[in-house]
């Protein structure tokens, strides 16, 4: 029988969706869950089946005053999806500052998977995933010892066109599975496909995966299928 600390750690089963107001959290969750454009609500809690898992997402309001208080849910959280409006260059600094202060530097989030979504890629002039990743690296020292506490990765997407959204959530679920299987990848993971390419001012497409990534996936699938493998609890 575990003590209350152990119990609390093992009870982590929600995914928090965070990000500044207007970044696209609710529309994203609504479209994933109901395949419709959102018009009416600004916060949702929904369970979605992804990659053979049922994940419960809590999309919380992006209102400024409430954002620091979201940490009361951190002890129940196993992953974060941090949504950024890539078309809003003026707010990027604030968005990344909050990601660092409220999530990455909070000890309660250690061991979680953090996906940063560079949303609204359909808007001309939107910052690329690479640009956002570089800006994040300037804010947060990923080679510090505390940086290895998380699995962090950046993906580009557009809720409007749904480009990159399903793929990003699949990747997220896969990282959670890896974590649960004791095969945790720590620190900042590389971008996939040609997300990093910015040629002639154009953004890359979001759906190509590079060979290394698919090799890694194949290995994980093999590992997960092994009936003799013991699933290690990593927290
Ligand atoms: N062009 C474009 N607009 C988007 C995209 N994603 C969301 N939007 C729009 O951005 C606005 C804000 O979206 P919401 O989903 O309400 O944003 P939110 O992050 O939930 O905001 P709060 O509830 O205030 O925290 C809406 O008008 C959406 O239609 C996108 O990928 N492209
Ligand atoms: Mg909302």
Cα 224 to Cα 70, 221, 227, 229, 230, distances in angstroms: 33, 5, 8, 7, 10
Q: Phi/psi of residue 12, each to 5°?
A: -70, 115
pLDDT averaged over every residue in the chain: 80
Rounded Cα gap, residues 175 and 192, in angstroms: 14
Query: Which ligand has its closest atom nearest to the C-alpha of 62?
Result: 1
Please report the ipTM that was assigned to this predicted complex: 0.99
Q: Hey, which of 159, 161, 164, 165 would you mutate to test ligand 1's pocket, going by the most ligand atoms within 8 Å of its Cβ? A: 159
91 CA distance to ligand 1 middle (Å) = 14
Q: Residue 185: pLDDT above 90?
A: no
25: annotated binding-site residue? yes
18 CA distance to ligand 2 middle (Å) = 9
120: annotated binding-site residue? yes
* Cβ contact 15:82 at 8 Å: no
* Cβ contact 80:103 at 8 Å: yes
**Domain extents in the chain:** 4-225
Query: Which ligand has its closest atom nearest to the C-alpha of 22?
Result: 1
Give the residue-averaged pLDDT of 60-74. 78
CATH superfamily of 4-225: P-loop containing nucleotide triphosphate hydrolases (3.40.50.300)
Top pLDDT among 186 and 134 is at 134
Query: Which ligand has its closest atom nearest to the C-alpha of 27?
Result: 1
86 CA distance to ligand 1 middle (Å) = 11
Give the residue-averaged pLDDT of 197-222. 43
23 CA distance to ligand 2 middle (Å) = 8
Q: What is the pLDDT of residues 32-59, one digit of tens each?
A: 998 888 667 778 888 999 988 899 999 9
């Amino acid at each position: 029988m575990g003590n209350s600390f152990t119990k609390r750690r093992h009870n982590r089963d929600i995914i928090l969706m965070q990000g500044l107001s207007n970044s696209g959290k609710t529309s994203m969750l609504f479209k994933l869950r109901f395949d419709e454009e959102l018009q009416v609500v600004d916060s949702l809690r929904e369970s979605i089946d992804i990659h053979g898992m049922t994940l419960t997402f809590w999309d919380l309001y992006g209102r400024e005053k409430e954002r620091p208080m979201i940490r009361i849910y951190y002890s129940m959280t196993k992953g974060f999806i941090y949504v950024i409006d890539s078309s809003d260059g003026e707010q990027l600094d604030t968005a990344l500052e909050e990601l660092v202060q409220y999530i990455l530097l909070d000890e309660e989030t250690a061991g979680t998977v953090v996906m940063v979504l560079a949303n609204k890629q359909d808007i001309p002039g939107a910052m690329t995933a690479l640009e956002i990743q570089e800006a994040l690296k300037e804010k947060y020292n990923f080679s510090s010892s505390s940086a290895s506490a998380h699995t962090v990765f950046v993906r580009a997407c557009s809720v409007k066109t749904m480009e990159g959204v399903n793929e990003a959530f699949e990747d997220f679920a896969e990282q959670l599975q890896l974590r649960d299987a004791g095969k945790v990848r720590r620190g900042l993971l590389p971008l996939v496909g040609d997300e990093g390419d910015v040629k002639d001012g154009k953004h890359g497409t979001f759906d190509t995966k590079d060979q290394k990534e698919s090799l890694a996936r194949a290995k994980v699938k093999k590992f997960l299928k092994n009936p003799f493998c013991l699933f290690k609890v990593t927290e």
